[in-house]
Amino acid sequence: WDMLIAGGDHEPTSRANGTLAGGGARLFLHVVAAALVSMRSQVMACKKNDDLMQLVARKLPARKFTAHELVRKAMDLMKTTKGLGEAIEVASRASIALEGL
């Protein structure tokens, strides 16, 4: 948690300083993805959503990960995705419709 807080992951995304900065829980999501990538053979063996949920609930907490290694892998994943799917600004449909008038 200390690394996530130090990275500013608890701040809104709009306050993030750079593309690899935390914010909007981006770093947290990439840390979870890094943990799942390290277990990819077990993840790929899941045939149903329930199998994946059981894997995450039972085997993921039993694995011993070092925080440094997970954050390093998460930063590598963040470099790869470069903010894909990131919501920079949230606008309502009404405001978008009004801009067109």
- Quote the number of domains for the chain: 1
What CA–CA distance (Å, rounded) separates 46 from 5? 33
Per-residue pLDDT, 90? 46
Contact of 76 with 88, CB cutoff 8 Å: no
How many other C-beta atoms can be found within 10 angstroms of the C-beta atom of residue 9?
22
How many other C-beta atoms can be found within 10 angstroms of the C-beta atom of residue 26?
23
* Structural domain that includes position 16: 2-99
Most confident residue range from 51-55, 61-65, 81-85, 91-95: 51-55
pLDDT digits (tens, 9 = 90+) for 11-64: 665 555 554 556 667 777 788 888 888 888 888 898 988 988 888 888 877 777
The answer, as to whether pTM is greater than 0.85, is no
Q: Give 10 or 74, the one with higher predicted confidence.
A: 74
Per-residue pLDDT, 98? 57
Q: Give 56 or 4, the one with higher predicted confidence.
A: 56
Per-residue pLDDT, 89? 46
What integer is the mean pLDDT of 85-101? 52
